[in-house]
Amino acid sequence: MAIATTAERNSLAAKYGTDAAFAALFTADPGTTGTVANEVTGGSYARKALVWGAPVNGVITATVTFDVPGGVTLTHVGLCSGATGANLIDRTATANQPFTDPGTYTYTATFTQS
- CA distance linking residue 66 with residue 101, whole number of Å: 14
Span 46-70, pLDDT tens digits:
999 999 999 999 999 999 999 999 9
Give the global pTM.
Answer: 0.92
Residue 8 domain-assigned (yes or no) = no
- pLDDT for 2: 80
Name the amino acid, one letter, at 50: L
Which whole number is the average pLDDT over 74-97?
93
Count of the separate structural domains present in the chain: 1
Residue 15 domain-assigned (yes or no) = no
Residue 78 domain-assigned (yes or no) = yes
Residue 14 domain-assigned (yes or no) = no
Residue 4 domain-assigned (yes or no) = no
Name the helix (H) or strand (E) containing 14: helix 6-19
Bridge partners of 74, per DSSP, are 97
**Distance set, CA 2 to CA 50, 80, 111, 113 (Å):** 26, 26, 15, 8
**Residue in 71, 83, 74, 69 with CA at minimum distance from that of residue 36:** 83
Residue 95 domain-assigned (yes or no) = yes
- CA distance linking residue 58 with residue 55, whole number of Å: 6
Residue 72 domain-assigned (yes or no) = yes
Q: Is the pLDDT of residue 76 over 80?
A: yes
Range of the domain at 39: 20-51+60-108
